[in-house]
Structure 1
Amino acid sequence: MPEPPRPKELPGSLLTDPVMIEACRTRDFGRVFLLVRVRAGIYPSMVARRCDLTPSRVGEVIAGRRQLRHMDVVERIADGLRIPGHMLGLARRPWETPQNLTVTPRERIEASPPVGRPPAAGLPGPDVDSVLALAAERELGPSTLEALHSSIADYWRRDDEHGGETLRPAVVGQLRYVVDLLKEQRPAPLREGLHGIAAELARLTGWMYFDARQYSQARTYFTEALGLAKAVDDRQLMANVLACMSLQATYQEKPGDALALVTAAQDQARGARRTTPRVLAMLTMREAFAHAALGNRSATHSAISEAHAHFGRISPGDPDPAWVAYFDEPKLIVDTGIAHGRLGESALAEPLIADALRREHRSNRRGRALHAFWLARTQLQRGKLNEACHTAMDALAPAAAVGSQRIAGHLREFYEQLEPFRREPAAVSFEARLREVLSRQVSGSPRP
């Protein structure tokens, strides 16, 4: 009788994905089942069949109405989906050893040490591997810091492309891991590096909560990031965190707080050993946002001019922090347009935002969606209804691909501004397209 076919292996890229690692570590099987569906094409009915579960039970887990905790069920999931045992807190599974590396009983006997002699030193057994790996994790060095910095850069890229909702547990887990490492004695350079990494992870977590419009949680993590950066006197990073808090205050319609926070950010930057022109340009543009939110036209224009002057002094050899690399020329231009837009200067704002949008990288789907809705609003303010609706329709695809409540807020604002034009053909077409996109999201159909 032929052997049943071996279950399909999960892609290596999925098994090494921080989101998958965190979901397995916490045994969040709802998220695991979603990830294997999206990344490996293993649908819920197939999960049920491979793991000896009922389809209804799998559906309840995905919907968050049931958790799977029994050890025999966890083992069936590991074996059915081919998830290595260590990822789920299990011993090495039998199938993890390739068939051609399996040792026969005869070979084991021959390899055994003679009676009366101490065992010879050799390779550790499978149960010892995980213990040694755990111990090795504490032996930190420059390569560890480099790997952590690399993971942060990858988190930011994924956040721009997909939003932070699914990434957030992994980022928080890594933050807690690094903070835990700081509880032990470390050489000064290593300790300073870990503080910087922890501060960046806390800032990223705060940013993800801000993008989800969960402002209280965002402020908590921004405050944690500020304390971590202050512990090693990283004034540029402190300035960056304060600038993030200033932007959040602008969204919360607290322009006075926004101005106070960005002023504090600039004070920190001036106190740093060397603050680069790119950092100063970014901070000054955030100041322009605060002045615009206050309706102070002259101060906004002055800040915009100063930001462009700082940007003009950027040199290729500047030691820019990694976190400010995003502030390139298209970003400077689009932020200039948005500052004018906040003042109601739509004639100045429209060409700037349109130019930046044409030059913006397509992988930054959240940025493209946000900036397209800003462009649509300025076009509507100028009486260009057809262009505004067309621009907003173009923004729906990247908006649907990213989980961002900020984007949803901009979409709602544009939709409300369309109210006087509801019967116009362009507005009717936009609403039809919007309903189509929303229905696809609800039904789980492929996004446009």
Structure 2
Amino acid sequence: MHGNAFEPIQIPARVWDRDESREILKNRDIAGLFNLAVKYAGASQTRISAATGISQGRISQHIRGQRQVTDLEVYERIAAGLSLPDHARMLLGLAPLDIASPTGNRGDEHQEQTQELTARIAAAAAIDPTMVMILSTDTNNLRLLDRRLGSAAIADKMRAQISQIARAHHHAVRPGIRSQLAHVLSETAALSGWQAIDTCALKDAWDHHERAISAAREADDPAVLAYAQGQQAYVLMDLGRPAEAAEVLHYVRDTFDLRVPGHLRTWLAAAEAEAAAILGDERTRRTALDQAAGFLPGENADPSLPYLALNTHHLARWRGSCLVHFGDPETTDDLKSALAGMDGTFNRAEAGLRCDLAHALLAMGEADAAQPHLYRAEQLATMIGSRRHGRRIVELRRALTRASR
């Protein structure tokens, strides 16, 4: 190992001329880049962390292929930390630092980039409405798998899906197709964001929702925009900032309430009720839940909102989840009703429902009745890899132990 943790990382210039290095750059292979720093500059993970501003734990995950970079700002930090020359920066897809002479004497790399861009635009031009529909169907299938299996089981498929859609959207020229791709990108990024919330990767969750919101604005679809903004509020709730979450949800409802379908109006009202319940704001919670019940259409699903599964049983689950914060005697009735009518494919939702039911029963002094629900919640959370529910189960286990003494 050469140098201390705060010395600049200097990879020999000749390394960037190697075919292997050029492929690493063109593929945005971050693990490969970090391995070049280790091999040719003797850089430790600690030194790479200090140079790039990325935590050592994440550096390790990148090297093992367990984490992907999606943000341009992170690519910039890596390029700066590894002192990439301009021709290497350009192969990585970044602007050169020397704008006056971006390619130096390396016209061949410039030509390669031109050819690559031409090829990607040509590939995107081949996408038609049928292809967009296929991509949308693929996202919906992943959503169904996520409900049953959890995010860990489909992580590789999700990364491939969002990468494919993002690349197609980035290089699409025709406005109509580009708008349709933006819509699918927003839905897919929002799904990735919810999965990140479930695994407690809250920075990733925030970033996925920012992408979903940006794409929804380009798609000019108020429903998918309202959904992405509303769901992002859950990141704030899990960060312990429910007041800001409530403010966001109130704004979204005020802005979009009359412009979106009934199922989404119901979802937004119930989400605001949940934030109010966390805050202990019983008046807002009660009003929002009453509104949610009034908005809910008779049909179980709206084909235009594939990202929402909401019916009377789901709303009863949500109502019970809100009431549990107040020790309301109606809580267990709502939750038992929701459990009886729940589709067995919603494993994450059932884990949360059983946590709420165990919580409500414990509050009523019925520890023995809470035990089987907590046991089943733990089984489901383990199966789908839900760290979010797992943390809550740990807290309820402690409460159950205290109650059983």
Once the two structures are TM-superposed, the CA of residue 65 in structure 1 deviates from its matched residue by: 10
Alpha-carbon spacing, 1:206–1:65, altered in 2? closer, same or farther (3 Å): closer
CA deviations over 1:69-127 (Å, ceiling 9, x no partner): xxxxxxxxxxxxxxxxxxxxxxxxxxxxxxxxxxxxxxxxxxxxxxxxxxxxxxxxxxx
Name the amino acid aligned to 1:401: M
Aligned to 2:199: 212
Aligned to 1:410: 392
Q: Distance in 1 between matches of 2:62 and 2:229?
A: 36
Q: Distance in 1 between matches of 2:265 and 2:127?
A: 34
Name the amino acid aligned to 1:146: M
Aligned to 1:308: 293
CA deviations over 1:265-310 (Å, ceiling 9, x no partner): 21342363xx111110110001101111111111111111111011
Q: Distance in 2 between matches of 1:418 and 1:194?
A: 48
Name the amino acid aligned to 1:279: L
Picking from 278, 299, 311, the partner of 1:293 is 278
Picking from 138, 144, 151, the partner of 2:131 is 144
Name the amino acid aligned to 2:370: A
- Equivalent pair of 1:293/1:342 in contact (CA under 8 Å): yes
SS at match of 2:344: coil
SS at match of 1:322: coil
Alignment of 1:1-16 (within 5 A): none
Name the amino acid aligned to 1:410: R
Q: Distance in 2 between matches of 1:319 and 1:203?
A: 17
- Equivalent pair of 2:152/2:385 in contact (CA under 8 Å): yes
Aligned to 1:182: 169
Aligned to 2:373: 391
Picking from 298, 314, 324, the partner of 1:341 is 324
Once the two structures are TM-superposed, the CA of residue 168 in structure 1 deviates from its matched residue by: 2.7
Once the two structures are TM-superposed, the CA of residue 364 in structure 1 deviates from its matched residue by: 1.5
Calculate the TM-score normalised by the size of structure 1.
Answer: 0.61
Name the amino acid aligned to 1:343: F
CA deviations over 1:118-150 (Å, ceiling 9, x no partner): xxxxxxxxxxxxxx9x97775111211111111
Q: Distance in 2 between matches of 1:189 and 1:316?
A: 31
Q: Distance in 1 between matches of 2:62 and 2:206?
A: 27
Percent identity over paired residues: 19
Q: Distance in 2 between matches of 1:64 and 1:306?
A: 46
CA deviations over 1:127-185 (Å, ceiling 9, x no partner): xxxxx9x9777511121111111111111111111111242333233222222222334
Moved over 4 A (4+): 63-67, 134-138, 313-319
Name the amino acid aligned to 2:306: A
Once the two structures are TM-superposed, the CA of residue 317 in structure 1 deviates from its matched residue by: 9.8
Alignment of 1:80-119 (within 5 A): none
Alignment of 1:221-370 (within 5 A): 221-270=208-257, 272=259, 275-311=260-296, 313-314=297-298, 320-324=304-308, 326-345=309-328, 347-370=329-352
Q: Distance in 1 between matches of 2:361 and 2:188?
A: 37
Aligned to 1:96: none
Name the amino acid aligned to 1:247: Y
- Equivalent pair of 2:233/2:245 in contact (CA under 8 Å): yes
- Equivalent pair of 2:149/2:384 in contact (CA under 8 Å): yes
Q: Distance in 2 between matches of 1:419 and 1:317?
A: 41
SS at match of 1:361: coil
Most deviating of 387-396 and 178-187 = 178-187
Aligned to 1:75: none
Name the amino acid aligned to 1:168: A
CA deviations over 1:353-392 (Å, ceiling 9, x no partner): 1110111111221211111111011001001111111222
Q: Distance in 2 between matches of 1:216 and 1:65?
A: 20
Most deviating of 391-400 and 401-410 = 391-400
- Equivalent pair of 2:246/2:276 in contact (CA under 8 Å): yes
SS at match of 2:234: helix
Q: Distance in 1 between matches of 2:352 and 2:253?
A: 26
Once the two structures are TM-superposed, the CA of residue 330 in structure 1 deviates from its matched residue by: 1.2
Alignment of 1:126-137 (within 5 A): none
- Equivalent pair of 2:186/2:215 in contact (CA under 8 Å): yes
CA deviations over 1:185-226 (Å, ceiling 9, x no partner): 433321111000111111111111111011111101111111
Larger radius of gyration: 1
- Equivalent pair of 1:145/1:194 in contact (CA under 8 Å): yes
Q: Distance in 1 between matches of 2:140 and 2:317?
A: 23
Q: Distance in 1 between matches of 2:315 and 2:243?
A: 23
Q: Which runs of 5+ in 1 are unaligned?
A: 1-24, 28-62, 68-131, 424-448
Aligned to 1:374: 356
Q: Distance in 2 between matches of 1:316 and 1:203?
A: 22
Calculate the TM-score normalised by the size of structure 2.
Answer: 0.67
SS at match of 2:365: coil
SS at match of 1:167: helix
SS at match of 1:380: helix
CA deviations over 1:213-257 (Å, ceiling 9, x no partner): 111111011111111111222121111112112223223221111
Q: Which runs of 5+ in 2 are unaligned?
A: 1-26, 30-60, 66-118
Name the amino acid aligned to 2:392: H
Q: Distance in 2 between matches of 1:277 and 1:369?
A: 26
Aligned to 2:157: 170
Q: Distance in 2 between matches of 1:142 and 1:66?
A: 37
SS at match of 2:385: coil
Q: Distance in 1 between matches of 2:299 and 2:195?
A: 31
Name the amino acid aligned to 1:277: G
- Equivalent pair of 1:341/1:349 in contact (CA under 8 Å): yes
- Equivalent pair of 1:278/1:314 in contact (CA under 8 Å): no
Once the two structures are TM-superposed, the CA of residue 420 in structure 1 deviates from its matched residue by: 1.9
